[in-house]
Structure 1
């Protein structure tokens, strides 16, 4: 057969070729530009950031221990519930608390009260005796003054008579002396006159001395003093002083008893508070947070110090991150970090590096943590990232994201 000649393709005009070439070129340019930008971003990310291998959000747990032994009667909270500081989470009741301390203090108060009543009665008796002694002293002072005044009057009268006798004796002596000089009187008669004069003078001097002594006694009596003693050689005012000292000592003893009763009553109040606290202990949380775990149930008997549960302190959260030791060289304390949670695609948290631990072992938190961290593996470093203040805590049922895993990107220079 004779081969048929091939039909020639229709030729395209210049106007049809140019638009197609332009669109193709534009698409190639755009694709190339996108690839360049993507490559640039990948290179920028590679040189300016470090991406972790594993990361978990961790937090501090506060242990709640039983302050006393007892039976759990009230448990108004549940796991995952948000609580505030000093909120009651559990109530314990113990009907076996001993009240011996309260009874002992009550007995001591009753004994001291009886002693106080006896001391007060004795003080009243001493005060009555003091009043009697004061009245006796006043009466005695008046009697002594009256007696002294009478004695003074009597002695003054006697002195007046003695002075008169003295004047008579003096006149007789002068006359006898004149007659003796004239020779009309014997010497013996002059001597008798002289003796009478001296006797009269001595009597006047004696009476004046007695007058001074009696006046001294009178003045002492007016001042409440005594220059003489009683017939039994005992000063009656000493008894008054003794009673006054006894009253002062008794008042001090009463004050001591009153203070002892006051202290015992304060001790009794505290003992009753302690007893009530042991009979019904209310357990409160020391900080705000979320109930992480409850290990007690209503009706359960727990011993003192038994763990009742744990509270997660959402204010103290951080991220434990593991990165390659080669990459950790670019990370330093203060390096910004972005945390993307795997369980919540839209949740992104921000924080900064606070500690870096390379080598074997792990970075100990120094306190109970929600998620125990496994020891470092070789060629891995553990990094701690503290979340920024005000970081979203999420719903309480999410336990402030503690336990969630994610990926951490460190923004290095």
Structure 2
């Protein structure tokens, strides 16, 4: 009988030990945390918030939430106003210069078209004149050639008459000398005519073989005017570059002036408005918190465990998380960091310390604070503030 009791006691002890070793670790307290960014007032002044700015309102990154109208004197504003006025006067002067240059260019380009037309007419007339001169020279050359042939034939007749003793030797020599002079003159005239034919042929192609290169009046006017127009176009490009630079400077000064008069408040990230620190129309100072925005894409779980479970916890462990009020919604997560301490924590803080009620209940015992990354199944409803602050239970 005693043996049976001993066996039974031993079996119960083994079962209790097995149950204890198989049982998991659960968090004492845990909640869903999230990153909260604060929009601060950059200027002293009066706050003007947009109508839709209220807790629970969905916002996007860089979305304007309102503005702060400065109510204090700023020494930079008069200087910026004077600088802006000076730049605007300079811009007006550049506009007038460009307009005047455009009108002059229009006139010169009209003259250029006129000179081009005159040059074309001059060229056509020159081509006709060259053609007529070419025909005339060609006919003169033919006449000279015929005269040269006749002179040769006439000289041969004188030779026959001399051999027949019809004319004396003196007369023959005189006739011979006259014929040679005439032939030399005819050859010189033929060479001159041939050169003039070459000049006319070159002129028809716009070339010049002899003499200094010259341009007719329309061509010279056209060339001079083309250089003037090109110079004016370069001047116009420089004026336009100065105009663009001045316009950019005016915009920069205007932006700086507006920033000294009024500052636009905008969200730093996508999310939902967590709370509004100041009322519409309130007087605010630089650095005053205006709006806090919860980033629903950056959330995690802060969990607190009994320090007695320290040996059973280590970073990298897989955990399951569910809402304390409902176990139907569960998420998987990974234990990233562990630290010990006592104190408090609120939503939006990363410096994790346990809440005061745990410190009061377990005054002699410290707790472990765990930072847990969660694999969220879907984006929660922003109207519920993405579940930030909801109590959860973490099981390992």
SS in structure 1 of the partner of residue 51 of structure 2:
coil
Q: 2:371 aligns with which of 376, 381, 384?
A: 384
Aligned counterparts of 1:140 and 1:394: Cα–Cα separation in 2: 90
Provide the alpha-carbon RMSD of the alignment: 4.9
Q: 2:123 aligns with which of 127, 137, 157?
A: 137
When Rg is computed on C-alpha atoms for both structures, the one with the higher figure is 1
TM-score relative to the length of structure 1: 0.65
* Distance of aligned partners of 1:158 and 1:304 in 2 relative to their CA distance in 1, 3 Å threshold: farther
Name 1:236's counterpart in structure 2: 215
1:49, 1:409 within 8 Å by CA — same for their partners in 2? no
Once the two structures are superposed, residues 132-159 of structure 1 have per-residue CA deviations (whole angstroms, 9 ceiling, x without a partner) of 2332233233334323433443443344
Following TM superposition, by how much is the alpha carbon of 1:125 offset from its aligned partner in structure 2, in angstroms?
1.9
Aligned counterparts of 1:391 and 1:146: Cα–Cα separation in 2: 96
Once the two structures are superposed, residues 342-382 of structure 1 have per-residue CA deviations (whole angstroms, 9 ceiling, x without a partner) of xx5889764423312346799xxxxx934642399996543
Alignment of 1:72-111 (within 5 A): 72-77=47-52, 79-85=54-60, 90-92=65-67, 100=85, 105=91, 107-111=93-97
2:335, 2:372 within 8 Å by CA — same for their partners in 1? yes
Alignment of 1:263-302 (within 5 A): 283-285=265-267, 287-300=269-282
Once the two structures are superposed, residues 188-222 of structure 1 have per-residue CA deviations (whole angstroms, 9 ceiling, x without a partner) of 44433432332233233223223312322332343
Aligned counterparts of 1:348 and 1:198: Cα–Cα separation in 2: 132
SS in structure 1 of the partner of residue 131 of structure 2:
helix
2:40, 2:289 within 8 Å by CA — same for their partners in 1? yes
Answer with 212-221 or 105-114: which moved more.
105-114
Once the two structures are superposed, residues 376-411 of structure 1 have per-residue CA deviations (whole angstroms, 9 ceiling, x without a partner) of 9996543112344147958846x44534566x4433
TM-score relative to the length of structure 2: 0.67
Number of aligned residues = 358
Name 1:176's counterpart in structure 2: 162
Following TM superposition, by how much is the alpha carbon of 1:290 offset from its aligned partner in structure 2, in angstroms?
2.8
* Distance of aligned partners of 1:107 and 1:214 in 2 relative to their CA distance in 1, 3 Å threshold: closer
2:294 matches 1:336 = no
Following TM superposition, by how much is the alpha carbon of 1:121 offset from its aligned partner in structure 2, in angstroms?
2.2
Aligned counterparts of 1:110 and 1:273: Cα–Cα separation in 2: 23
1:76, 1:89 within 8 Å by CA — same for their partners in 2? no
Identify unmatched segments of 5+ residues in structure 2.
Answer: 1-11, 71-76, 360-364
2:197 matches 1:209 = no
Aligned counterparts of 2:67 and 2:319: Cα–Cα separation in 1: 47
* Distance of aligned partners of 1:234 and 1:402 in 2 relative to their CA distance in 1, 3 Å threshold: closer
1:169, 1:196 within 8 Å by CA — same for their partners in 2? no
2:37 matches 1:52 = no
1:57, 1:318 within 8 Å by CA — same for their partners in 2? yes
Following TM superposition, by how much is the alpha carbon of 1:172 offset from its aligned partner in structure 2, in angstroms?
0.8
Following TM superposition, by how much is the alpha carbon of 1:312 offset from its aligned partner in structure 2, in angstroms?
0.9
Aligned counterparts of 2:98 and 2:153: Cα–Cα separation in 1: 80
Name 1:309's counterpart in structure 2: 291
SS in structure 2 of the partner of residue 51 of structure 1:
coil
